[in-house]
Amino acid sequence: MLLDKIIEINKFNLIQKYDSEILSVGTSFGGVFHNHVEIAQNLKNKNLYTITVIIDVLNPKFWNNKKYTEKTDIPKQSLYNELLYKYFFAEFDYQVGNELYAKWLGDYRDLWKKEKTDKELDDYIIKNELEPRYKEKILKKYKNHEKLFKPQIEINKKRYYNLPSPLNHIDWRNPYDNIFIWEEGDRKVFQKGGSGSSGGREVNSRYIFGLSLINKIKPVKSFLFLYSDDNKLYFIKEFSSLTVPRYDIGSNYHLKSAEEEKILSGTNLIEWKDFTAWYSHCWYTIKLCWFDVSIVHMIVCWYGNQRYFQEKSC
């Protein structure tokens, strides 16, 4: 049977009020499940649910606002040291240069350990290998020696992720945050998955496959949120059975195609368009076809700076 379904985003059902217990957890899970079958076997009798937070890109106008980002001064090496390495890798290509540098690290390691000073191992290479080659050339070219030797500062800006601790840690390479939560004794624990790293993709795939198996026996509730471009968390929808992003499933945790389709049958897989790509559009709709695997599409309407949300079944 072929079914079409569309979810459209409308301001009338986009709210900041939600049951705070949903995001209330104790700590991250300290154990390891080696595969999706272990997850299904160990969690099938637990009280568990998932949270997906779709992460919108921070509005550029907020990057210099301390309300939205945390600025950290990170010490950098001096311009002089940067130039020493620049000239070194200009003389030797990166492959040969890295091989030679690795040899020097081995040559000076024993002396560095023996002297037990505050110096870094690289300082020995700078003094004994790089400076004899390039110091004179650098000093001759750069006349402002005070600026040349002055330590540099790099300003790092980190966006705030305003979820309750300990869920407020995020790899900002992720366009979404998948959180798998269950009860262990008298407390709730969680694992996180995403697309930002190979480890995150593996955890994401393993848990989605495992919970999909459980979802065939008993429904696994899912909650969908949006983290907006101004760092606000909006509740979008609660699903009565497992609903997760379809992105990256199987990445770094591969199953045969037939087995993957069988496991995911009955699991709702959501897709959405990049919000920032549709600023100039009013309505953007995608119809989806439901076969063995059900899919829900998120649609965005932009009118000025206001997002509009509406749910619609076809």
6-53 pLDDT per residue, tens: 666 655 556 778 888 999 998 989 888 999 999 999 999 999 999 999
Main-chain dihedrals φ then ψ at residue 301, nearest 5 degrees? -110, 130
87 and 60 in a common domain: no
Domain that holds residue 178: 3-66+158-313
212 and 301 in a common domain: yes
Q: Is residue 71 part of a domain?
A: no
CB 244, CB 177: distance < 8 Å: no
37 and 167 in a common domain: yes
58 and 96 in a common domain: no
pLDDT of residue 83: 95
Among residues 116, 150, 184, which one ends one of the domains?
150
pLDDT of residue 281: 33
Weakly modelled stretches of the chain, pLDDT under 70: 1-14, 273-314
Q: Is residue 116 part of a domain?
A: yes
167 and 52 in a common domain: yes
DSSP code of residue 66: T
Among residues 91, 115, 150, which one ends one of the domains?
150
Burial pattern 203-237, b for ≥16 Cβ within 10 A else e, equals bbbbbbbbbbbbbbeeebbbbbbbbbbebebbbbb
For the chain, report the end-to-end CA distance as a whole number of angstroms.
Answer: 14
116 and 265 in a common domain: no
What is the C-alpha separation between 223 and 52, in angstroms, rounded?
Answer: 6
With 0-12 / 13-18 / 19 or more C-beta atoms within 10 angstroms meaning exposed / middle / buried, residue 62 is middle
Q: Is residue 308 part of a domain?
A: yes
What is the C-alpha separation between 44 and 68, in angstroms, rounded?
Answer: 39
What is the C-alpha separation between 177 and 154, in angstroms, rounded?
Answer: 28
198 and 57 in a common domain: yes
Q: Is residue 123 part of a domain?
A: yes
180 and 141 in a common domain: no
Instruction: Read off the tokens for 26.
Output: 């104790």
Among residues 150, 173, 193, which one ends one of the domains?
150
Please state the domain count of the chain.
2
**Predicted TM-score of the model (pTM):** 0.70
198 and 137 in a common domain: no
pLDDT of residue 10: 56
Q: Is residue 113 part of a domain?
A: yes
236 and 89 in a common domain: no
Q: Is residue 283 part of a domain?
A: yes
Q: Is residue 73 part of a domain?
A: no
295 and 254 in a common domain: yes
Q: Is residue 129 part of a domain?
A: yes
201 and 280 in a common domain: yes
Q: Which residues, other chains included, contact 43 with Cβ-Cβ below 8 Å and sequence gap of 6+?
A: 182, 210, 211, 214
